Amino acid sequence: MKIVSSKEKSETHSELCVTNNTAKMAEAAILGFLQNNESIPDSGKFAAELNLDHEEIKNVIKSLQGFRYIEAKELKRETLVLTDEGKKYAAEGSPEFHFFSAVPEEGSISKDDLEKKLEASVFKIGSTQAAKKKWVAMGKQVSRKVQHVEDKVKESLLQIQQGLELDQESLNSLKARKLIVTQGWTGYSDVKKGPCYAPKRKIFATDLTRENLQNWKELEFKEYNFNAKGQPLDAGHLHPLLKVRKQFKDIFCQMGFEEMPTNNFVESSFWNFDALFQPQQHPARDSHDTFFLKGSMLESSATEFVSWKILSQLTPSTTRELPEDYVERVKQVHESGGYGSRGYNYDWKREEANKNLLRTHTTAVSSRMLYALAKGPFTPKKYFSIDRVFRNEAVDRTHLAEFHQIEGLICDRGLTLGDLIGVLQAFFSRLGMPKLRFKPAYNPYTEPSMEIFSYHEGLEKWVEIGNSGMFRPEMLQPMGLPEDVRVIAWGLSLERPTMILYGIDNIRDLFGHKVDLDLIKRNPICRVGIE
C-alpha cells in the first residue's frame, strides 16, 4: 500500500484546482462570446486568440454540446509540425549552413580540420547537403564555390511554425529529410447557440440524496439518459467452439447418453488401431498421417535432471501396460480371423501395437470403454465424447493438424442398421437437420458403414455432415462382449458446424494462434437447431 505524503496531496489538489479553473475560464469564454456573436468559426483560432489550451476548449465544447447549450460541427484537417530535428534546425540553423560557414571565405581548409571544428552529426549531414547544393568543393581540401548563401531550410521551418504556406518542392524536401511530419488535427467549426443556451451553465442535481429529495421543488435534476451504455465489464468469454460444444453435449444428455473420459491425448497404437481391427499396414498408421512419440526427445531434454533408470520408465515412445489376454485375442483375429471372419492373414507385431501416438480419433476411448464394459455383467450403455484429436495433415482453409471430434455410440443386444438410422434421425433433427440421406461407405472397424448427408437450405444442396456404422464382430467379440450385443456409432467434427453457424470460411480464423480476440469477445450466443 502506497503512503501519500501531505505535500503530495497538496500538489495533487492544486493541480485539480488549476484544471477546474482552466475549464471554467474556457466555458465562460465560449458562452460569453456567443452572447454577443453569432458563431465561433474555428475553435483552434478561437483558442489561440484568447491564449487558451485548445484541448480544454474542445472538451468544454463537447460538454456544452451534450447539454444542448451550443451546437457545433466537427472539424478535421491535417497540419504540418516540426520534428525534434526540425525544431533544432529552426532554432540553430541547418547543418549545411554551419558547414558552409566553417569554410574560410578565401582559400581552403583540410577535411580533417573541418571535421574537428564541427559536431559529428553537423559534419556528416552538412558536408553531404552543402556539396549537393554546390556550395562547396569537396576533396581532401574543402573550399567555397560561392561567397554567400541563404539558410532556406531554417527559413522554411520558421514559416511552417508560423502557419504560413510553402511551395510543394520545399515541402517535399523537408519531408524527405524528416524535418516535418503531417499530423491530424481535430476541432470544431460553426459553434453557435443551442436550444438550451444560457450565458452561464445551470447546475443540475445529479444524485438522489435525502437533501435533494426534500428540496426537489427547488432543484432541477439532470435528465436521465436511458440510451447511455454502461462501462463494459471485464470478464472471460467463451470461444465459439465451446458454445457449440455445449449445445451438442446438452443434446446427448437429453437423449440419455453418458460422457466418456477423454483426458488422454496420448494413446497407444493398440487402443487407437489394433483393438479397432485396423490392420498394421493400413495407410492411416503411417507417419505421414499420424504423430508418433519419440523417447529420444524426452531423454535429450531431461538427462541432466533424471537418472537413466527413471528415464527408462518415463520414455513415452512405447506403452508397457496392455491386457495380455485381450492382446492375444486381438492378435489372433488379425492374423487368422475368427467370429466369422478370415482376418487379414499377416504377421501381427507387438512392437507396432506398443507405439505411442497422439490419438487420431476418440474411437480409441470408445474401445477402452467397451472393453471395460465387457469385463462385468453386460449392461446396455449410451456413450458420447467431444474432444481433441490429431492428424498429420497439411494446414489449409479447411484442415488443421488438430481438431475436435464428436462421437456417439449405443451398445445393446440385437441392434440393427434400422436402429442406427432412427437414432441419427432423432439426433440430427435436434440440430435442426431433419432431412437426411445415407450413402454406403467403408471403415475398417464398422460394417455396414454409412456417410451421412443433410440437405442445406442455404446452399440448396446435400452436404456430408458425418460418418456412421456398426462395430464389427472382429472388434467386439475379442473384448468379451456377448455374441448378440451390437454397437452402433457415428461421428462428426465440431469445427465444421461451428464454421457454418458463425459464418467463418477459414478454419485458421476459428482455432489456433491466428484467432482474433474480438471474435471471442463478440460472438453471439449459440442455439443449435433453434430458428
> What's the pLDDT score for residue 449?
93
> What percentage of the chain carries pLDDT values higher than 90?
40
Q: Lowest mean pLDDT: which of 139-153, 266-280, 480-494, 513-527?
A: 513-527
What 3-state class would DSSP assign to 220? coil
pLDDT in tens, 225-266: 788 888 877 777 888 888 888 989 999 999 999 999 988 888
Alpha helices in 417-465 (DSSP H): 417-430
Cell representation of residue 400:
488443421
**Given the C-alpha cell 454502461, which residue does it identify?**
230
Q: Lowest mean pLDDT: which of 277-281, 294-298, 476-480?
A: 294-298
Instruction: Give dist(CA 434, CA 452) in Å, integer.
Output: 12
What 3-state class would DSSP assign to 178? coil
Instruction: Give dist(CA 111, CA 98) in Å, integer.
Output: 15
- 107 against 3, higher pLDDT: 107
pTM of the predicted structure, to 2 decimals? 0.55
What 3-state class would DSSP assign to 230? coil
DSSP H or E stretch at residue 73: strand 70-82
Going by the DSSP 8-state scheme, the letter that residue 360 receives in this structure is S
Is the model's pLDDT at 322 over the cut of 80? yes
Question: Residues 259, 308: contact at Cβ < 8 Å?
Answer: no
Instruction: Give dist(CA 340, CA 474) in Å, integer.
Output: 8
Cα Dmax for the chain: 116
Instruction: Give dist(CA 458, CA 441) in Å, integer.
Output: 26
Task: Provide the strand spans (E) within 374-504.
Answer: 381-390, 402-413, 436-443, 446-456, 461-471, 485-493
> What's the pLDDT score for residue 313?
45
Is the model's pLDDT at 307 over the cut of 80? no
Question: Residues 371, 479: contact at Cβ < 8 Å?
Answer: yes
- 432 against 479, higher pLDDT: 479
- 320 against 262, higher pLDDT: 262
> What's the pLDDT score for residue 528?
65
Is the model's pLDDT at 142 over the cut of 60? yes
Going by the DSSP 8-state scheme, the letter that residue 355 receives in this structure is B
Per-residue confidence at 12, pLDDT binned at 50, 70, 90? very low
Instruction: Give dist(CA 493, CA 361) in Å, integer.
Output: 10
pLDDT in tens, 21-64: 888 889 999 999 999 999 999 998 898 888 888 999 999 999 89
